Structure 1
Amino acid sequence: MSKRMSTYYWMTIPAVLLFFLFLTLPAIQGVYYSFTNYNGFGKTYDFIGLRNYINLFTDNVVGDAYWFTIKFAVVVTIFVNVFSLLIALGLNASIKFRNFFRGIYFLPNILSVLIVGYIFNYLFSNVFTVWGQSLGINALSTNILGNESLAWIGVVIVAVWQSIALNTILYLAGLQTISKDMYEASSLDGAGKWREFWSITFPLIAPFFTINMVLAMKNALMVFDQIVALTNGGPGRATQSISFLIYTGGFEGGEFAYQSANSVIYFIVIAVISILQIRFLQRREMDM
């Protein structure tokens, strides 16, 4: 091994140690505590085997949280990718002030999720309701975040609005890899815009579509900050996500070991969904 390569390896040691100390070690401890009845404080606890994991599958609160999270993630993933692709196609066209609009669309991504959530919380409760009452629109006259059936829609709106930025940038990067000569050749053959999109654009940006789908789904499954800022899991438990349930139950409800087991299952679910997404979408890439 050369002296330069040895130097590179030594330079990575601090990063590896920090990663192990703040990420790997707590994860291992969480798995360990998931087999106990530890309540989060004190030093006394007993090993109870798989009891926590068994109880998770019969807990209606946990089941409702998983249902909300998966429903939320699917809706957000679809809307984020549809809107971000449409915006990217528009920004990639020859329009004036294209770079300015790219900066504007990317702005939500650099804002704090909690700050954005609190701003929208104020808008939903104090601004949109006034507009709805003034315009006579019943749907906007009341705060949807206080409606058990509609509160999740408000969370979806905020999550989609803020998530579109990064996906748009990734789609723009993919669109810029396509040679304009291909579009010129297709136009000479009489292909319309719709045909160009399905025969040229979409197949060539398929790898970027795969990345965006996986990232959007993973981020949506881990939704937490928007829930805290907008609904705090309410009304009732209508918008309680898995990550929010793990936090409140584990650190505030004395269910540290139980929610540690929940977090292990949660990790497995996210990993399985991500792997299935990648395999399915990459197979579609090969078929295009």
Structure 2
Amino acid sequence: METKIKTGPVRPEMQLKAAARKRRRYKSVFTYAAFVGPAMLFFLVIQIVPFLMGLYYSFTSWNGVSSAVQWVGFENYTKIFTNDTAFYESFKFTTKFMLAAVVISNLLGFCFALLLNAALKTRNILRTVFFIPNVIGGLLLGFIWQFIFVKGFASVGNLTGIEFFKMPWLGDETTAFWGIVIVFAWQISGYMMVIYVAALQGVDTSLLEAAKIDGASGWAMLTKIIIPLILPAFTICFFLTISMAFKIFDLNISLTGGGPFNSTQSVAINIYQEAFQNNRYGLGTAKSILFFLVVAIFTTAQVMITKKKEVEA
């Protein structure tokens, strides 16, 4: 036997409340779309679409100019893995440069942060001085340091007779490598310093005062209290320096141009020459896809390792 449930008429105030909730929902969706929509659109057009197009072109033999695009499958990737020694050498240099640059940049940035976190009267001026190199563009910075290495160091060496300044800084494979590392660290350490300073200022001073009362040394407080508490800052700084060092291009091309004899050629320069100078756009994009995967693996592994350390700390 069926029972019928009688429902009374919907009251006008309930209809008004439902309509108001619907208007608020539409308003929140519209507000979200107005603020996030343009950013999402630009990200899609500038990042996602070119990446997908590059992925497609990496399977072609397109020269970057012609309208004819021939599909070659994995032929470009086969060439890279079989007989492209220049790419391997550039990748070897870039990896070695990344390791040296990450260590030196973060060490300098952290030391600057410790110095400026102290009660110094000139710390605001020093912060500006240390951060200014990061404001200068890579190309301009490279040409400035090229003049310093070639002309400035030679003049100082002739006046003082010190062999350090007489070395062919950009004319030898070893010294050119360290020259690029020095300039990169000089440019980026100020940016790392800002992140470390922000982290140090968030450390609870009562912990440091209690450790000092208990007789802890400065080194013990640094290694046992300060560094474990600011490990998230190390995670951020390592991620930034690894990605920046891997993608170095403008500083490298303005300082050495990849020389002498391609001994300081980064992967970015190798990809640029392959695509835009040798007109092998398909092969160049295949190299860029592999490069993207390697950088993603390195940075992801670094973040996972340092995040694990944060949890343990």
TM-score, normalised relative to structure 2: 0.89
1:150 and 2:175 aligned: yes
- The amino acid across from 1:136 in the alignment is G
SS of residue in 2 equivalent to 1:223: coil
- The amino acid across from 2:135 in the alignment is I
- Which region of structure 1 is more displaced relative to structure 2, 46-55 or 258-267? 46-55
Of 27, 44, 65 in structure 1, the residue corresponding to residue 51 of structure 2 is: 27
Q: Root-mean-square deviation (CA), in Å?
A: 1.2
Q: Of the two, which has the highest radius of gyration?
A: 2
- Which region of structure 1 is more displaced relative to structure 2, 243-252 or 19-28? 19-28
Moved over 3 A (4+): none
Query: Given the superposition, is the C-alpha separation of residues 95 and 253 from structure 1 closer, same or farther in structure 2, using an over 3 Å criterion?
Result: same
CA distance in 2, matches of 1:148, 1:107: 29
CA distance in 2, matches of 1:282, 1:7: 34
CA shift, 1:284, in A, is 1.3
SS of residue in 2 equivalent to 1:233: coil
- Which region of structure 1 is more displaced relative to structure 2, 128-137 or 194-203? 128-137
1:40 and 2:64 aligned: yes
1:251 and 2:283 aligned: no
Residue in 2 that maps onto 1:276: 301
CA shift, 1:8, in A, is 2.5
CA distance in 1, matches of 2:146, 2:205: 44
Contact residue 168 and residue 175 of structure 2 kept, 8 A = no
- Match runs of 1:197-216 below 5 Å: 197-216=222-241
Report Cα offsets for 1:84-137 as digits up to 9, x if no partner.
Answer: 111100100111121111111111111111111110000001011111122212
- The amino acid across from 2:177 in the alignment is W
Of 40, 44, 49 in structure 1, the residue corresponding to residue 73 of structure 2 is: 49
CA distance in 2, matches of 1:149, 1:103: 32
Report Cα offsets for 1:171-194 as digits up to 9, x if no partner.
Answer: 000000011111110011000000
- Which region of structure 1 is more displaced relative to structure 2, 116-125 or 143-152? 143-152
Matched positions, count: 288
- The amino acid across from 1:7 in the alignment is T
Report Cα offsets for 1:52-108 as digits up to 9, x if no partner.
Answer: 111111211010010000000010000011111111001001111211111111111
Of 102, 120, 141 in structure 2, the residue corresponding to residue 95 of structure 1 is: 120
Of 147, 150, 169 in structure 2, the residue corresponding to residue 125 of structure 1 is: 150
Report Cα offsets for 1:210-262 as digits up to 9, x if no partner.
Answer: 11111111100000011111011111111110111111110111111001000
SS of residue in 1 equivalent to 2:185: helix
- The amino acid across from 1:38 in the alignment is W
Q: What 5-or-longer segments of structure 2 have no aligned partner?
A: 1-24
TM-score, normalised relative to structure 1: 0.97
- % identical aligned pairs: 34
CA shift, 1:266, in A, is 0.4
SS of residue in 1 equivalent to 2:188: helix
- Match runs of 1:1-288 below 5 Å: 1-58=25-82, 59-288=84-313
SS of residue in 1 equivalent to 2:121: coil
CA distance in 1, matches of 2:86, 2:213: 60
Q: What 5-or-longer segments of structure 1 have no aligned partner?
A: none
- The amino acid across from 2:46 in the alignment is F
CA shift, 1:163, in A, is 0.5
CA distance in 2, matches of 1:15, 1:217: 26
CA distance in 1, matches of 2:58, 2:26: 45
